[in-house]
Amino acid sequence: MDEPLPSSLPASLRSHAAGRLFADACYVALRVAGWLAVTSLAAMGLYVLFFLALGNMSAEGFFAQLANLGNRFTAADTLRRDSFLSIVGTVSTVLFLIVAAARFRSLLAIFVTPAPARKDRP
């Protein structure tokens, strides 16, 4: 990111610098949002892999395990459901943190790598 322009410059150049700063902030925000989305999807994919492994790596076994989980969840009382959801939340957080640690270098690249050059600027 560029250094701020001095206030002795014309207002049009200062507004251009402010617009550039806003554009750079939007770029970083979109890149971080994309990183968070991919990391979240990878963490959820670990659940799919877990149920596939439980189902002997077959579609029938996968859906049988999901049906078993769904049947037991709906049959449980409220206290057990809340306990189960608490465990799922904790496991999901741990899985997200593990995937985020594995993808940490790509997060750093967002802040270290300069934005690609635009075609309308030399």
Q: How confident is the model at residue 110 (pLDDT cuts 50, 70, 90)?
A: confident
Could you read off the pLDDT of 21-49 as tens digits, one per residue? Answer: 888 889 889 999 999 999 999 999 999 99
Query: Residues 6 or more apart from 6 whose CB is under 8 A from it?
Result: none
Total residues belonging to the chain = 122
- CA–CA distance, 91 with 70 (Å, rounded to integer): 18
pLDDT tens-digit readout, 45-55 = 999 999 999 99
Q: Is the dihedral of CA 9, 11, 15, 18 positive or negative?
A: positive
Domain ranges of the chain: 11-112
Return the pLDDT at 5: 55
Q: How far apart are CA 33 and CA 106, in angstroms?
A: 13
> 56-65, 66-75, 80-89, 101-110 — which is least confidently predicted?
101-110
Measured CA to CA, the distance from residue 49 to residue 62 in angstroms comes to 9
Mean of pLDDT over the chain: 87
**pTM, two decimal places:** 0.73
pLDDT value of position 20: 84
17: exposed, middle or buried (Cβ count in 10 Å: 0-12, 13-18, 19+): middle
